[in-house]
Structure 1
Amino acid sequence: GDPPLPLLRNETVIEAPVGQDTLTKRYTEEALQFIRKHKTQPFFLYLPHSMVHNPVHASDAFRGKSANGRYGDAVEEIDWSTGQILHELRELGLAEHTMVVFTSDNGAHSRFGGSNLPLSGYKGSTMEGGMREPCLVWWPGHVPAGTVCGELCITMDLLPTFARLADAKLSGSRLDGRDIWDLMRGAANAKTPHEAFYYYRGRNLEAVRSGRWKLHLPRKTRKGKVVPAKLFDLQEDIAEKRDLAAAQPEQVKRLLALAERARTDLGDGQQQGDGQRSAALVVTPAPLLLPGAKWPPEEKLVFRLKPSQEVSGKAAPNVGKRPFTVEAHLVATGDGVVLAHGGLKVGYALIVQNGCPAFVVRRDWEEIATIEAEQPLPEGTCQVRAELQANGKVVLSVDGQPVAKGKVKGLLPGQPAEPCSVGKDAKMRVGDYPETFAFQGRIQYVEIKLDKR
């Protein structure tokens, strides 16, 4: 599900929530207007697309056009957007006066269709697939077309590089980036300005690279098991498959020394570094809202879901520690999951099995109850309603008439972590029904109503 994000122009909310399938096109239109407005003067345009970050969306013009689902559709729309901007620069005669840098901040997610091959790992990891990004630099007449540079750089290098090209002076505060213009322009024998690159995951230093060598540092698992250091030659093994730590002890020693230097400067986990700078702090933060909007917003108590719809996170009904009802309007021609929300730890599901409606309540790993009617559902459209009351009583009704009652130990102890899905159980099963238990029939809609806290 989508979080209810607002759309801002500078610090003013202009739309809330915003349809995320419109964002790529709208960002592109704003960028083109900005370029036209400033075509006679130097300008800097930063265009950080929301896509292909999850939740992934594409506009109507691109939806369903790729061979890789929503992710592929979104990639194709980003490609279109980039083409529009390059075309505009050419049309305005700005191409030879404008540098364009296209890059990203992390690897693709393990879900949603992304791929980092031949790299190993995904977003959130310190494998190359999580950290190593492509970077395209376009500047006709200045950056040679078709050239490739394999030297190590980081996005922090862009600021000092841009400052050099614009003949701008930077403040005297410490800069972690370095000027990489010689690498961009393909200067002979140009090398990375960085002795090492440090792979942090949050506050934790997990790996260090210098030249062709990358060392994944020793670490402890949650169960206290020590995982030894692993060494990879990225020049010969970009996928990080062949551990050479035992064969290259001197490289391990050298990289461990670099890691210790980073810990002293930047810290590691709970260890403070001498060079750490405190984050900025907003003393009295205030939300940005549409005119007349309230904060905090009133809690949503009624959720009407369409067939095959799936919502998760804050967009899902917050059923933890409160009474609620599930009401489905459907035509059953077979069995299956009408609605499921949760998984193996906590959740609930409205299902049809052996032609009869049933309501599954899971309050813990081992605490699961199924309240099932004895009579099958009638033919044609019917209303199936399940109610979990404050005292743990469960009432199952069909067309307003109770057909089964039961009792569980109480309300759900917390909000289910897994999605709420219509017509199937999208992730780990709430109940003991089969893994493939999609509903056989037609669902008009499912409505979930929450009691006020």
Structure 2
Amino acid sequence: MKSKNVLLGMAGVAMFSSGAMAQKPANIILINLDDSGNGDFSCRGAIGYQTPHIDWMAANGMSMNNFYAVQPISGASRAGLMTGCYPNRIGFAYALNPGSPYGISEQEETVAELLRDKGYATAIFGKWHLGDEKKFLPLQHGFDEYYGLPYSNDMWPFHPQYKFPDLPLIKGNDIIGYNTDQTRLTTDYTNYAVDFIHRNVNKPFFLYLAHSMPHVPLAVSDKFKGKSELGLYGDVMMELDWSIGEILRTIREEGIEDNTLVILTSDNGPWANYGNHAGSSGGLREAKANTFNGGTRVPCFFYWKGKIPPASVCNNVYSNIDILPTLVEISGAKMPKLKIDGVSMLPTLTVDPTIAARKYLCFYYHKNSLEAITDGRYKLVFPHKYVSYDGQVPGNDGLPGELGEGEVKECELYDLRRDMGERVNVISQHPEVVKDLTREAEVWRDELGDDLTGRQGKARREAGKSVKAAK
């Protein structure tokens, strides 16, 4: 049956591609939320507020129910999203701090570069986090327009512990202000995005709307303040839902809905120790900065009228590194010259949601530690220490709670089909699965290395470096 599905997928994609060639290449809108969890939308069980526009996307598009951020932290996750690579392949780890001498390398081709070479207008409005020196900023990596923050909105004057340097707001390559009023961010990003769509209806465009919210410190405009029954976090989610509704309304009014793919996802799971200012993982284990599902399994919805079946569901494993090759195939752009790790999801999206283009996904974290691997159903977790939220008292009203430390002392295996929360270790019941996943992990240790087992890897590339890093 699987081989039949693959053949159907190949035939369907071939028909799709030939049809797409006859018209303007599809517009692409990629919306990336910051620290939003699987339980943050009313279609996923959120209580105290409604997200009708996101719910509408889910009802009229495809819900990816086994979708992962490639790493459970902002900068590394976004590096994977933009390049289609495991972040450690391209020298990325953690989240870059202000003034970091590192950033995205000029040898890496971002999805924006690939699409611009195909004739797309490209823009990013929101958070970048791939380096804050000029050589690392979006305009040097495929984007025609940029307005937003170079890194997280808590860096640093708005952080409970650190207070400097000031937080810059950037337009193009220029700093246009510091320590901006964050109640404006969601509205401003949305207005820039809507204007970009209006200006580019007659040519293909790639819009990357990278919201700063719901990352702490939370902020919301007056029109949504106090609107939810869940305090400030609910207000913020309602405004983000409004933003997505504005994007959907604009493509509909411009008559380009049939030729526009809209993607909604999140960079990692919720920052749970912020308590009432944090989102919900939907009952998954742990949270942000952790390779258990609460940190990596993120919401993802695809909407494309007439191309993606309404109310469809995909349960196969995919990651945000798979977005780049998918968009390359949709647009007819060229793949990057250097090796990437993503696979195209197009057959799954447009032909049959049961088609599984990806067989395995690795969970690297910290500098280069292979902490787990999954085949979509089973997840093998290797011995490692991790930041733990379990049993800790969360913070309140913008202040973080304490964090604990957990440890996996021996390998653990979880059946994600039956135990999405990773509570029951079934390693003794499935020795053949353990053998298969261990064998695949060895392939990746040889390729990319693994600090946990002392492996260097043979195919890692360096991140970009500033002059001060080279000294």
Superposition TM-score, scaled by structure 1 size:
0.60
**Residue in structure 1 matched with residue 236 of structure 2 by the alignment:** 74
Residue 2 of structure 1 pairs with residue 2 of structure 2: no
Structure 1 distance, partners of 2:167, 2:186, is: 15
| Structure number, greater radius of gyration | 1
Q: 2:364 aligns with which of 195, 200, 203?
A: 200
Provide Cα deviations, 1:336-391, integer angstroms capped at 9, x if missing partner: xxxxxxxxxxxxxxxxxxxxxxxxxxxxxxxxxxxxxxxxxxxxxxxxxxxxxxxx
Partners of 2:187 and 2:221 within 8 A in 1: yes
Q: 1:24 aligns with which of 186, 199, 209?
A: 186
Structure 1 unmatched runs, 5+: 286-453
RMSD over equivalenced CA pairs, Å:
2.1
In 2 relative to 1, CA 250–66 (structure 1 residues): closer, same or farther, beyond 3 Å?
Answer: same
**Residue in structure 1 matched with residue 248 of structure 2 by the alignment:** 86
What aligned pairs does 1:349-360 form with structure 2 within 5 A after superposition? none
**Residue in structure 2 matched with residue 116 of structure 1 by the alignment:** 281
Structure 2 distance, partners of 1:259, 1:127, is: 17
Structure 1 distance, partners of 2:265, 2:406, is: 38
Deviation, structure 1 residue 184: 1.1
What aligned pairs does 1:162-181 form with structure 2 within 5 A after superposition? 162-181=327-346
Deviation, structure 1 residue 220: 6.0
In 2 relative to 1, CA 226–101 (structure 1 residues): closer, same or farther, beyond 3 Å?
Answer: closer
What aligned pairs does 1:214-363 form with structure 2 within 5 A after superposition? 214-219=379-384, 227-269=409-451, 271-284=455-468
Structure 2 unmatched runs, 5+: 1-156, 160-165, 388-404
Partners of 1:69 and 1:113 within 8 A in 2: no
Partners of 2:214 and 2:237 within 8 A in 1: yes
Deviation, structure 1 residue 284: 4.8
Q: 1:187 aligns with which of 352, 369, 377?
A: 352
In 2 relative to 1, CA 220–101 (structure 1 residues): closer, same or farther, beyond 3 Å?
Answer: closer
Deviation, structure 1 residue 189: 4.6
Structure 2 distance, partners of 1:69, 1:271, is: 47
Provide Cα deviations, 1:128-157, integer angstroms capped at 9, x if missing partner: 111011111111111111111111111111
| Structure with more of its chain in strand, by fraction | 1
In structure 2, the residue corresponding to 1:8 is in which secondary structure? Answer: strand
Residue 35 of structure 1 pairs with residue 197 of structure 2: yes
- Kindly indicate whether structure 1 or structure 2 has the higher relative contact order, using CA contacts under 8 Å at least 6 residues apart: 2
Q: 2:176 aligns with which of 5, 9, 14?
A: 14
**Residue in structure 2 matched with residue 151 of structure 1 by the alignment:** 316
Superposition TM-score, scaled by structure 2 size:
0.57
Structure 2 distance, partners of 1:184, 1:41, is: 24
In 2 relative to 1, CA 29–249 (structure 1 residues): closer, same or farther, beyond 3 Å?
Answer: same
Structure 2 distance, partners of 1:206, 1:40, is: 46
Structure 1 distance, partners of 2:406, 2:309, is: 52
In structure 2, the residue corresponding to 1:174 is in which secondary structure? Answer: coil
In structure 1, the residue corresponding to 2:447 is in which secondary structure? Answer: helix
Partners of 2:183 and 2:219 within 8 A in 1: yes
Structure 2 distance, partners of 1:84, 1:226, is: 45
**Residue in structure 1 matched with residue 40 of structure 2 by the alignment:** none
Deviation, structure 1 residue 171: 3.4
Structure 1 distance, partners of 2:221, 2:376, is: 42
Partners of 1:266 and 1:274 within 8 A in 2: yes
In 2 relative to 1, CA 199–159 (structure 1 residues): closer, same or farther, beyond 3 Å?
Answer: same
Provide Cα deviations, 1:179-219, integer angstroms capped at 9, x if missing partner: 1101111427511x222111112221111101311011123
Structure 1 distance, partners of 2:352, 2:191, is: 36
Residues matched between the structures, number: 284
Structure 2 distance, partners of 1:121, 1:146, is: 29
Deviation, structure 1 residue 261: 1.8
The range that moved more, 44-53 or 117-126, is: 117-126
Structure 1 distance, partners of 2:437, 2:259, is: 41
Q: Residue type matched to 2:378 in 1?
A: W
Q: Residue type matched to 1:258 in 2?
A: E
Structure 1 distance, partners of 2:419, 2:192, is: 42
**Residue in structure 1 matched with residue 95 of structure 2 by the alignment:** none
Q: 2:257 aligns with which of 88, 92, 95?
A: 95
What aligned pairs does 1:363-378 form with structure 2 within 5 A after superposition? none
